[in-house]
Amino acid sequence: MAGLALRAGHGLFPVPSADVLTGSFWWDLLLGIVAALLLAWLALVLALLIARPRGGLLREALRLLPDVLRLLRGLAADDTLARGIRVRLILLLGYLALPIDLIPDFVPVLGYADDAIIITVVLRGVVRRAGLDAVRAHWPGTEDGFAALARLTGLRRGV
């Protein structure tokens, strides 16, 4: 039972001693925070891998990115949409404006695709809540692009 000490009056319940990892509370705290952040990042990467579009849809999402960004801006400025939808869109636009990515660009395949995957996941929820007509009214691209967007968001009907 290395690293465990018995305190008098507590019976046989082992209590971790103060010098379990580094001997310093602050270094132990820092290591714990770094480990927690690493685990959270790995969980987010795993969620991106699970939620990514399958097959050629990821390539379509990357091709549609300029039109989708204009769509997001138009939907976020639309006062007829529910506040929750607009807040999600504004948060998404804020994430996209940050120079820091969830997955660095040097990571093969997912490095450049993380923005497209996150946009796809958010748009799925937005399209399902706002409706296809609201999205179609703000779509700046072609009909073929809108059909691809409908496939990405899982709305095949009405296209």
pLDDT at 66 over 80: yes
- Backbone conformation region of residue 24, classed left if phi is above 0, alpha if psi is from -120 to 50, else beta: beta
Residue that has been written with the tokens 């899982």 in this structure: 154
CA gap 33, 49 in Å, rounded: 24
Local confidence band at 158 (pLDDT 50, 70, 90 cut-offs): very low
Burial level of 65, CB count in 10 A (0-12/13-18/19+)?
A: middle
pLDDT at 91 over 70: yes
CA gap 26, 31 in Å, rounded: 9
132 contacts 58 by C-beta, under 8 angstroms: no
Token pair belonging to 146: 């809108």
Kind and range of the H or E run holding 16: strand 15-16
Tell me: the pLDDT tens digits for 111-144?
667 777 788 788 888 878 888 888 888 889 888 8
Q: Give the DSSP letter of residue 140.
A: -
Instruction: Decide which of 93 and 102 is more confident.
Output: 93
Tell me: the pLDDT tens digits for 5-62?
545 545 555 555 555 566 778 888 888 888 887 887 777 667 766 666 555 555 666 6
Q: What is the pLDDT of residue 17?
A: 54
Q: What is the pLDDT of residue 30?
A: 82
CA gap 142, 157 in Å, rounded: 17
Q: What is the pLDDT of residue 159?
A: 41
Q: What is the pLDDT of residue 48?
A: 62
Q: What is the pLDDT of residue 126?
A: 84
Tell me: the pLDDT tens digits for 72-85?
889 998 888 899 99
Q: What is the pLDDT of residue 55?
A: 58
Q: For the residues of 49-115, what is the DSSP string, one character each?
A: HHHSPPTTHHHHHHHHHHHHHHHHHHHHT-TTS-HHHHHHHHHHHHHHHSS--SS-TTSTTHHHHHH
Q: What is the pLDDT of residue 59?
A: 62
